[in-house]
Amino acid sequence: MLRTQVAIIGAGPAGLLLGQLLHRAGIGTIILEQRSKDYVLARIRAGVLEQGAVGLIEEAGASARMRQEGLVHDGTEIAFGGVRYRIDFQALTGKTVMVYGQTEVTRDLMDAREAVGAPTVYEALDVTIHAADTDRPSVRYRKDGHETDIACDFVAGCDGFHGVSRQTIPEHALRTYERVYPFGWLGILVDKPPLSDELVYVNHERGFALCSMRSATRSRYYLQCGLDEHLDDWPDDKFWEELRRRLDPEAVARLQTGPAIEKSIAPLRSFVAEPMRFGRLFLAGDAAHIVPPTGAKGLNLAASDVAYLSRAFVEWYQRNSMAGLDTYPRRALARVWKAERFSWWMTQILHRFPESSGFDGKLQAAELDYLFGSKAAQTVLAENYVGLPY
Ligand SMILES: Cc1cc2nc3c(=O)[nH]c(=O)nc-3n(C[C@H](O)[C@H](O)[C@H](O)COP(=O)(O)OP(=O)(O)OC[C@H]3O[C@@H](n4cnc5c(N)ncnc54)[C@H](O)[C@@H]3O)c2cc1C
């Protein structure tokens, strides 16, 4: 039987960031990750960091490479009716966002954890959580055929949407809210410079598109696609051809194409599980909530949950106060729901919905027209995009 203070399940951004912040506060953790380190590092996901997330990565002592290689973005562009409009985050809010891939964030946090010798068990299989509603919770896992139990004070469920933590909570103690959207995003990663210095969101009659990036030499492009479509239906040439159809002529002229180094389809979903706590088990990140990626909020929400949760653990261990842990669900969920609202709204105004009527289309056009013409509306978008305070 091993012992630690906080057993963390999942070595995604939430688990790794929590582990590092707790380590720096002198709190012992063991992270259990079901996949190998290489597998976790090969996953291509988010890429836009709010200032709050950047600050936390700094606090975790893992920001050196991000500061060197990350791209600071002052604004973004939205294209509609063949015209591009710019939303100037810096002018409207005094804040910016940082483009730095989730894979890189994960690698930096893994390196920081290894440098201080804090334990992570990769390929920890069949993780189960026991006695979470008592003062003596424990976690069990299997590795190389051997079972190990970890006694702990608390369990942090940072194991994503399909993890075991949320599933451990009895049905009567959990309430879930969900919206599944009638489309997905087909994404391509390519080693070519992006077509613009900033992200370009496109609302086109053939569907949504996004021109994003991971660095000055690596671009990420997305197309709205049907839920019944498969990667085999989308050879690279077809992807580029369809993207060109959805872009304005200047963007097409600047688009540099090449062989995809990664291609994937992600369905879009909004999901929240309340109350993010069961006794001494606390959920953080995708384990508790999912947003459609349109507002670039998934990774950032994982970071804000971890900010609340890490401070609450520090309060317990340094001042013997449960106040932070008791109020964690309320504080985290207040921010989660605002990000859910923003991500839903961005999805609503930028995608073509198959069931949409003529009336819906007119409302969407009016919404965008209002946004492009109103500083107040642009400020609302900018304030949410750069991230609400926590
Ligand atoms: C395909 C995809 C594309 C995305 N693209 C974007 C994007 O473009 N923009 C954006 O903002 N967000 C995006 N997201 C969302 C963003 O990546 C997530 O919000 C973010 O990864 C959340 O971090 P997390 O640590 O909570 O969860 P995760 O990153 O999912 O990490 C959870 C970890 O727990 C591990 N785990 C799971 N089950 C167990 C178990 N039983 N035992 C032990 N370990 C377990 C997993 O292997 C994983 O390493 C995307 C998500 C996906 C799935």
Ligand 1 lining (C-beta closer than 6 Å): 9-15, 32-35, 40, 45-46, 102, 124, 127, 158-160, 162-164, 264, 266, 285-286, 293, 296-299, 302
pLDDT at 150 over 90: yes
Residue whose tokens read 């891939």: 101
| Rounded CA separation 294/326 (Å) | 32
pLDDT above 90 for 45: no
Write out pLDDT tens, residues 186-241. 999 999 999 999 999 999 999 999 999 988 999 999 999 999 999 999 999 999 99
Q: Note the pLDDT tens digit of each residue in 332-363.
A: 999 999 999 999 999 999 999 998 889 999 99
- Taking the C-alpha atoms of residue 333 and residue 339, their distance in angstroms, rounded to an integer, is 10
**Lowest model confidence (mean pLDDT) among 41-45, 129-133, 307-311:** 41-45
Residue 106 reports pLDDT greater than 90: yes
Integer Rg of the chain from CA? 21
Residue whose CA lies nearest to ligand 1 atom number 1: 266
Give me the mean pLDDT over the 80-98 stretch.
96
Sheet of 29-32: strand order equals 120-121, 29-32, 6-9, 154-157, 281-283, 277-278
Place of tokens 């139990």: 149
CA nearest to 249, candidates 198, 195, 191, 187? 195
**Distance, CA of 307 to CA of 321 (rounded, Å):** 17
pLDDT tens per residue across span 248-297: 999 999 999 999 999 999 999 999 999 999 999 999 999 999 999 999 99
Q: Does the pLDDT at position 82 exceed 90?
A: no
Tokens of 14: 């939430």
- From the CA of 195, how far away is ligand 1's center (Å)? 27
Residue nearest to atom 10 of ligand 1 (CA): 46
Integer Cα distance of 87 and 378 in angstroms: 6
Question: What is the side-by-side strand order in the sheet with 138-143?
Answer: 2-3, 146-151, 138-143, 125-130
- Our mutation pick for probing the ligand 1 site, out of 98, 102, 165, counting the most ligand atoms within 8 A of Cβ, is 102
Atom of ligand 1 nearest to the CA of 44: 3
Among all residues, which ones are annotated catalytic? Answer: 73, 201, 293, 297, 385
**What atom of ligand 1 comes closest to residue 220's alpha carbon?**
8
Question: Are residues 3 and 154 in contact, defined by beta-carbon separation less than 8 angstroms?
Answer: no
The phi, psi pair for 261, rounded to 5°, reads -95, -10
Mutate to test the pocket of ligand 1, among 8, 164, 165, 286 (most ligand atoms within 8 A of CB): 286
Q: Give the torsion through C-alpha atoms of 352, 358, 359, 360, to 10 deg.
A: -10
Structure tokens at 313: 């653990």
Instruction: Describe the crossing of helices 13-24 and 298-319 by its angle, rounded to 10 degrees.
Output: 30
- Cα dihedral sign for 339, 341, 344, 348? negative
The pLDDT of residue 183: 97
Name the band, by pLDDT with cuts 50, 70 and 90, for residue 1: confident
Q: How far apart are alpha carbons 325 and 316 in whole angstroms?
A: 8
pLDDT of residue 43: 86
What's the whole-number mean pLDDT along residues 138-160? 97
So what's the pLDDT on residue 143? Answer: 97
